[in-house]
Structure 1
Amino acid sequence: MEQTIPQTVSRESLGAKVGLFSTIGNVVLFVCKYLAGTLCGNVAVLAESFDNLMDSLNSLLVILGFHMSGRKEDYLHPYGHGRCEYVLGLIIAITIIFTGAAMLRESILWILYPPDRSFPAVVYGVSALSILVKYAMSLYTSHMNKQLDSSALKACEQNEAADIRMTLLTVGSACLYSLSGFSADGVVGIVISGLILKDGLKSFAEHFVLLLGEGVSGQQMAQIQAIFDCKKDMVTLKKVDLHDYGPESRIISLQVTVNPICSPVEVNTCMDSISEDIKALGLCPAFSLSMEQILV
């Protein structure tokens, strides 16, 4: 028996909106930073511009990833392509790790070889624009992800947060230096890069586990068991398996034993009730529920 939760708006279209919004924002930042860095001869701003260019490619990957995961099942992939979304999240997590590693390297170089501290006004302006755009992108991604609950978009949020931290470090340290002559770039950069690496590694581990496959959590198992405890005179839960083929394709397989004194009508009524109760738990956005009845 199968139960599904209908969706009026597809994940593919919502994910594509997030990807398109992020792509436009990152392209705008790339153009602004590239022009500012070229005109002012500021290598740091030029480097940031190419980081935004890479972010725009990641945003295109978001569109592609949601498109791929939204494809219907076929002969070779009978359970659909939902895991493409997990692969996308893994790729974004890797880019976060590279961002943190690059920032750590730059921070160490700042300590060993202090750079030229001249910051034209246009650099401050572009940095402020970057923070505003990235913050808007982060808010929009977070808002849309409340509907999607996507691990890939969660990784995007972490990537945008990392970019905001980097830009805040650049602007904040420049202001501190201009006011006091004290440079804390390297030390603060190492701390922030450590936080970015922590987020990236955590996101990588989460998506790696999703790709490997995981069972139901202890809390979910307790909720399911509580449903069966209310009907223990008719059925007994023996085993629970979760098969994750993507955010919209999760199959919960329950193996139960049925009291032989119960009639087929009573058993079917009980199973229907259990199905509705498990559906009400909202264990995942959409799922199929199959039960294997073992007569004792």
Structure 2
Amino acid sequence: VAMIADAWHTMSDTFTSLIILVSFWIAARPADEHHPFGHGRAESVGAIIIGTLLAVIGFMFMKESIMRLLIYQAAQFTPLAIIVFGISVIVKEGLAQFSLWAGKKIDSQALRADGWHHRSDAIASGLIVLGALAGVRLWWIDGVMGIAVSALILYATYSVLKGAVSSIFGEKTDPAIEAKIRTLVLNNAPTASCIHHIHVHRYGDHVELTLHCKLPPEMNLKEAHDLATTMEEAIRKELQVEPTIHIEPLVDSE
């Protein structure tokens, strides 16, 4: 069961790679009348689909592994099978390293999800090799290893879905990024104060930033507008985001 579970898990790599390609294609489409912020969140949708696929595989083989333990049937492993799965550990971990590196480099949630998928494959295959070597004397090892592989798949599912759903719902701005934004505002507008309501809205590669700040009440509308434009240009250049700054008058009590 463990080998069959791992084979299905490996075959699912083909489908997940196809899902990633499609999600990248959709995410790369420009903004249109109905989607003014682009289609970047298609990557998160792709990651949710990958997570759902992993969940189905995990639950299916958890059930099969438990049934194998209940009927007391030992599995037979050939030396060739052990060698093949040993090689697959190296190959899958190599794919995992590349996907995780690429995902970090281009900040792609879908690629990071695929990297974790590959890594869970590598760990699963490694467990199977260990189980195969011990399986001659321990009849129950196939079922136990099958449960272990299934647990890894389900853990990968949790990691993938948690990140993708959190991204779609919207996440709190990183404190380091928020501090950098405040510094940029104050460096380009020393009279600005009470910087608040900093929100970062991610749509794949397209990122929108909104914030509120207060300016002296004696400043006229044109001066306030020009200063807001200066702040926006500085933020846009430094952080590669599309900022919108809302100006409020500073009252004496503040």
Instruction: Give the TM-score, by structure 1 length.
Output: 0.71
Q: CA deviation at 1:292?
A: 2.1
Match of 1:253 in 2: 210
Match of 2:41 in 1: 83
- Does the alignment pair 1:100 with 2:54? no
Match of 1:216 in 2: 173
Deviates more, 1:217-226 or 1:169-178: 217-226
Structure 1 unaligned regions, length at least 5: 1-42
Structure 2 unaligned regions, length at least 5: none
Name the CA distance, whole Å, in 1 between partners of 2:189 and 2:49.
46
The aligned amino acid for 1:293 is I
Q: CA deviation at 1:61?
A: 1.2
Q: CA deviation at 1:182?
A: 6.4
Match of 1:289 in 2: 243
The aligned amino acid for 1:224 is I
The aligned amino acid for 2:168 is L
200 and 106 in structure 1: CA distance in 2 versus 1, 3 angstrom threshold:
same
The aligned amino acid for 1:140 is F
Cα deviations across residues 128-147 of structure 1 (Å, max 9, x unaligned)?
A: 23223312211221232232
What secondary structure is seen at the aligned counterpart in 2 of 1:136? helix
Match of 1:70 in 2: 28
Cα deviations across residues 182-219 of structure 1 (Å, max 9, x unaligned)?
A: 64444454345334323311321221121222342444
Instruction: Decide whether the 8 Å contact of 1:257 with 1:294 is kept in 2.
Output: yes
What secondary structure is seen at the aligned counterpart in 1 of 2:72? coil
Instruction: Give the TM-score, by structure 2 length.
Output: 0.81
**Pick aligned residue for 1:158 from 113, 116, 138:** 116
Match of 2:162 in 1: 205
Q: CA deviation at 1:252?
A: 0.4
Name the CA distance, whole Å, in 2 between partners of 1:152 and 1:186.
31
Cα deviations across residues 94-149 of structure 1 (Å, max 9, x unaligned)?
A: 22223332342233223212334321222223322322331221122123223211
Instruction: Decide whether the 8 Å contact of 1:234 with 1:267 is kept in 2.
Output: no
Instruction: Decide whether the 8 Å contact of 2:74 with 2:142 is kept in 1.
Output: no
**Pick aligned residue for 1:132 from 68, 90, 95:** 90
What secondary structure is seen at the aligned counterpart in 1 of 2:135? helix
Cα deviations across residues 209-236 of structure 1 (Å, max 9, x unaligned)?
A: 2122234244443443455567886112
Deviates more, 1:250-259 or 1:81-90: 250-259
Q: CA deviation at 1:65?
A: 0.8
Name the CA distance, whole Å, in 2 between partners of 1:68 and 1:212.
19
Q: CA deviation at 1:90?
A: 0.9
Name the CA distance, whole Å, in 2 between partners of 1:233 and 1:91.
47
Instruction: Decide whether the 8 Å contact of 1:227 with 1:274 is kept in 2.
Output: no
**Pick aligned residue for 2:151 from 194, 205, 220:** 194
RMSD: 3.1
Between the two proteins, the alignment pairs up a number of residues equal to 248
Match of 1:20 in 2: none
The aligned amino acid for 1:136 is G
Name the CA distance, whole Å, in 1 between partners of 2:160 and 2:207.
21
Match of 1:36 in 2: none
